[in-house]
Amino acid sequence: MELLEVKNLSKHYKSFDLKDISFTLPKGFIMGYVGANGSGKTTTLNLITGILKGTDGEVQIDGLSREEDVQAYKEKIGYVGDESYFPDHFKIKHIRTILKDFYPTFSADQFNGFIRDWNLPENKLIKDFSRGMKVMLMFASVLARDTKLLVLDEATNGLDPVMRTEILKLLQEYVMDGERSVIFSTHILSDLEQIADYIYFIHRGRTVLYDAKDELVERFLLVKGESAKIPPALKKELIGLEENAYGFEAILPSDKAELLGSAFLFEKPTIDQIVIHYIMSAENQARAK
């Protein structure tokens, strides 16, 4: 069953349009939502959480839309962004009290357990927390509630590898019961290589790619070789062709592999390489217009 359903989601601004974003995310899975800066990732996530109101489209979480019941809809969501949303002059005790009063499903025992496990300082002001401490405090606040969907917007940016590994483990544990899901926007695509089940790639407010991660990787080849040897038929199919003094690198759809012959090296690409070459291709096309 689908946990998150997004249909034709759109948002119009004077200088930017998010247009017809549609996807589903089944229960028990993690989706990586990727794209360059300014592509519409944060806008999409803010429409899903209800921070923004869309120009058009529908969103349902576990079969419920925001229009049907605003409070119940919000209860299903846990959100962690790239900046702390707690007041700087608060301490953990103030946050605990507010969460308990505001969210019916908040468990002080669970929250306290995270605070102890992560050695978060009870008596420090939030403004004196490190970046990592603030992120872990946000995770403690959402994981101590009975949510259905975690929405993460660059939540792991600036964290050291140990802390990022801890968070990735938490996300996998979160979906383990098969009833909850995660949508995760990040520039650290190696994180998605580890934990994402689906990848949704957006560029300039439009869908570029959407598929199961493993299937997406199988759809492309990373090709390298000498630029001078590229025949016209192959060059036409290459995506994000990057040439330098040593040769070229590009992405090629797997069903065009017969065009390669024996003159080029090829291998399975990473998600990072697919995204980078698609962005390069889009930017090259934009400059050519």
Residues 41, 204: Cα–Cα separation, whole Å: 10
Mean pLDDT of 143-165: 91
Residues 114, 144: Cα–Cα separation, whole Å: 8
Q: How far is CA 101 from the centre of its chain?
A: 30
Beta bridge mates, 153: 185
Element (H, E) at 26: strand 17-26
Burial class (CB in 10 A: 0-12, 13-18, 19+), 74: middle
- CA-wise closest residue to 85 among 76, 72, 98, 104: 98
| Cβ neighbours of residue 122 closer than 8 Å, sequence gap 6 or more | 91, 92, 93, 115
Residues 133, 21: Cα–Cα separation, whole Å: 34
Mean pLDDT of 19-41: 94
Provide the pLDDT for residue 237. 95
Provide the pLDDT for residue 36. 87
Provide the pLDDT for residue 287. 65
- CA-wise closest residue to 164 among 191, 142, 184, 146: 191
Mean pLDDT of 145-170: 90
Provide the pLDDT for residue 153. 94
pLDDT band at 286 (very low <50, low <70, confident <90, very high): low
22 vs 246 pLDDT, higher one: 22
Provide the pLDDT for residue 255. 95
Q: Region of 57 please: left (phi>0), alpha (psi -120 to 50) or beta.
A: left
Q: How far apart are the first and last CA of the chain?
A: 43
3-state secondary structure of 67: coil
Q: Give percent of the chain above pLDDT 70.
A: 99
User: What pTM does this model have?
Assistant: 0.92
Q: What is the DSSP letter of 201?
A: E
Provide the pLDDT for residue 15. 87
Residue 285 has pLDDT above 80, yes or no: no
Give the pLDDT confidence of 85-144 residue by residue, as tens digits: 899 999 999 999 999 999 999 999 999 999 999 999 999 999 999 988 999 999 999 999
Average pLDDT, the chain: 92
Residue whose token pair is 């080849």: 221
Give the pLDDT confidence of 215-269 residue by residue, as tens digits: 999 999 999 999 999 999 999 999 999 988 889 999 999 999 999 988 899 999 9
